[in-house]
Amino acid sequence: MRLKDKTALITGGGRGIGATTAFLFAAEGSRVGIVDLRDEGLKEVGAEAKKRGFEFKTFVGDVSKKDQVERVLEEFIQALGRIDSLVNNAGIAISRPFLEKTVEDWVKTLEVNLVGVFLCSQAAARYMVKQKSGKIINISSIRGIDHCGREGIMDYCASKGAVINLTKTMAKELAPYINVNTVAPGHTNTEMTKSLPEEVRRNMIEGSYLKRLAEPEDIAKAILFLSSNDADFITGQLLLVDGGFSLK
């Protein structure tokens, strides 16, 4: 029970890594809120939580819209009283070759993956500063690491690289009471990668030294560590969970 009596808000919790993190946090004793654009995802995860004996607070909201983010934080605090962890997990990737990439692709990707992290962190940190404690975990990607960019998603790679940089600045500015760290997942077995052609998935597996995709649980365990008191003296850091992919 590494998160006993804590509270956590997880963005993009309607499926994938976010949903898996929500279940792991609940199993470790945390009270959990999830926010997602998709109501059906929230309903499914909420129903599964009930089956497992947990009760999640669910919020429909877009992390890239300031008014919606502030409303979600207000409702979260009203319901749960405090916010111990924020997991900035919501993210999107739009694949299009460089010569066809549009300004709209760029703006949408940066708004969700980068501005969304800023907005949720700012809204949560206002409460965390008053509490004099809190943990923020930003989800980047192996594709945000300097030598690991990928064709077709240069806007995604740039947004995820920026998240690593933003994390370091936030860690300085929100110290000493709030810890801010990044988890960068490698290729993970979720809807985001399930839709890719089989050959691309095979190359992803071949590219990792541990010869498999990450399961969402692999990523959730790293997020759990950085949210727990075991990570009280860690801030501004990047934890790669990629089966060694980035070693190449």
Binding site for ligand NAD (CB under 6 A): 11-12, 14-18, 35-38, 41, 62-64, 89-92, 112, 116, 139, 141-142, 185, 187-188, 190-193
Smallest gap from residue 68 Cβ to ligand NAD (A): 8
Nearer to ligand NAD, 92 or 178 (CB): 92
| 156 is an active site residue | yes
Amino acid, single-letter form, for residue 9? L
Q: Identify the active-site residue in 127, 156, 177, 209.
A: 156
- In angstroms, give the least distance from the CB of 9 to ligand NAD: 12
Q: In what order do the strands lie in the sheet with 57-60?
A: 57-60, 31-36, 7-11, 85-88, 134-139, 178-185, 238-241
Helix (H, G, I), strand (E, B) or coil at 188: strand
Report the residue number, 4 or 43, with the smaller CB distance to ligand NAD.
Answer: 43
CB of 85 to ligand NAD, least distance (A): 16
- Residue 86 phi/psi, 5° resolution? -120, 125
Tokens of 5: 């009596």
Tokens of 156: 């995604």
Residue type, 63: V
* Residue placing its CB nearer to ligand NAD in the complex, 128 or 220: 220
What are the catalytic residues? Answer: 156
